Amino acid sequence: MPLPSVAVSQSPEDRFREFLASRPKPQRFTDQQGELVRHIFEKHQHFDTDELLADLKKANRTVSRATVYRTLSKLVEAGLLRKIEIGPRTVYDHDYGYPWHEHLVCSSCGTMIEFQHEGIVDAVKGIATQKQFRVTGYDLVVRGTCAECNAADAAKRRYVM
């Protein structure tokens, strides 16, 4: 079940515009960047760069590969997206407009399951306090096998004798 969005004061597009304008050397907000931000935030899903490029092409949205790479980096820096390293794959997740959450990642099919648990947040806060460490963020990715892949493996084992 996907996590519910949380109320935000600005649209992702307006927040990104503000971020670009507030940089030491202000940058302009381009039409391609706007197209990309709108596309990314139309739905909540995890994606890697290749999936995003294919999805943009399928939606007949014209955004250059270079703009995609540069803009993703800036969206992470602006706090709109979270970059998650899963082995050799880099996945992006919405950070703006969604509560902090963790991920279960299936090693077989690659499915990512979002979850929240106050105990994890409390544990991180407690450990940081104990170690006099100021947390600026963290990613918890739990790797394993999802229910569907477990069921498929169990079915295969039943037929192999």
What is the pLDDT at residue 137?
80
Q: What is the pLDDT of residue 86?
A: 87
Domains of the chain from N-terminus onward: 8-97 (1.10.10.10), 99-161 (3.30.1490.190)
Q: 129 by DSSP, 3-state: which?
A: helix
Residue 4, pLDDT score: 73
> Which mean pLDDT values do the consecutive 10-residue runs of the chain (161 residues) have?
77 96 95 94 91 94 92 96 90 89 90 90 94 89 92 78 54
**Would you say 117 and 104 are in contact if contact means Cβ atoms under 8 Å apart?**
no
CA distances from 43 to 4, 7, 38, 160 (A): 12, 15, 9, 41
- pTM of the full predicted structure? 0.82
Q: What is the CB neighbour count within 10 angstroms for residue 88?
A: 5
Q: How far is CA 21 from CA 17, 40, 41, in A?
A: 6, 21, 20
